[in-house]
Chains A and B, each alone.
Chain A
Amino acid sequence: DAGITQSPRHKVTETGTPVTLRCHQTENHRYMYWYRQDPGHGLRLIHYSYGVKDTDKGEVSDGYSVSRSKTEDFLLTLESATSSQTSVYFCAISDPSNTGQRNTEAFFGQGTRLTVV
């Protein structure tokens, strides 16, 4: 199994508070992703990173920021949590290459269930 650890696994927070979710990998993969999963929407990409300090927005980036200061860590921050951000958050990693299909697939962490009350 790919070495991906998400923390915390569960969190309940109040509206308006900042929240940071952490994703840690031991695979030295270049790409890291944050998704949220909601009923009826599948997995939606929030932000992703293609290297240290290189990040880009996904489909649903409003209200979220990310940082990647080391290859192994990718942080997702909700600056001021809202109830609409209650969701299950998944981190994923991949290591694609333009010269081949090796490691193009994403491997996922176990998810973080976030509840904003």
Chain B
Amino acid sequence: AQKVTQAQTEISVVEKEDVTLDCVYETRDTTYYLFWYKQPPSGELVFLIRRNSFDEQNEISGRYSWNFQKSTSSFNFTITASQVVDSAVYFCALSEAGGGFKTIFGAGTRLFVKA
């Protein structure tokens, strides 16, 4: 069965600090997809990144970077030089090709960035 664990419920940092959000997943499938979403205080869910199980390359997009490690079943998200606008709830999610592509989410990590 697929499962996503985000052990950090809330994180509070001061602006310009770097912060890493952890995501650990469980799957028996060999073909799967991992995602990160952002939910700002306004409530909408914003897609940030997708990674498939055959591509372990790390990715950087501006101040955001993602570290995918199959050996530890982790897909961690780092924000460099955090800003107040990064304050949001961040969700990690998993979709299995063999599981009908249903997407399962972690419980989310609420990030507070203080000025």
Q: Which residues of A contact B (CB under 8 A)?
A: 31, 33, 35, 40-45, 48, 50, 56, 58-59, 88, 90, 92, 94, 96, 98, 101, 104-108, 110-111
Bitwise interface map of B from 61 to 98 toward A, beta carbon under 8 Å scored 1, else 0: 00000000000000000000000000000010101010
- With a cutoff of 8 Å between Cβ atoms, the chain A residues found around residue B100 in the complex are 48, 50, 56
- With a cutoff of 8 Å between Cβ atoms, the chain B residues found around residue A56 in the complex are 100, 102
**B41 contacts A by Cβ under 8 Å:** no
The CA-CA distance from A56 to B44 in the complex, in Å, is: 25
The CA-CA distance from A35 to B97 in the complex, in Å, is: 19
- With a cutoff of 8 Å between Cβ atoms, the chain B residues found around residue A44 in the complex are 105
Partner of B103, one of A40, A41, A50, A92: A92
Is the pair B104, A50 in contact by a Cβ cutoff of 8 Å?
no
Q: Which residue, B33, B47, B97, B101, has most C-beta atoms of chain A within 10 A?
A: B101
A76 to chain B, nearest CB (A): 15
The main secondary structure of chain B at its interface with chain A is: loop
Query: Is the interface on chain B under 10, 10 to 19, 20 to 34, or 35 or more residues?
Result: 20 to 34
Q: Which residue, A59, A90, A106, has most C-beta atoms of chain B within 10 A?
A: A106
**B52 contacts A by Cβ under 8 Å:** yes
Is the pair A101, B101 in contact by a Cβ cutoff of 8 Å?
no
Contact status of A59 and B104, CB under 8 A, knowing A98-B97, A101-B50, A104-B50: yes
The CA-CA distance from A37 to B51 in the complex, in Å, is: 24
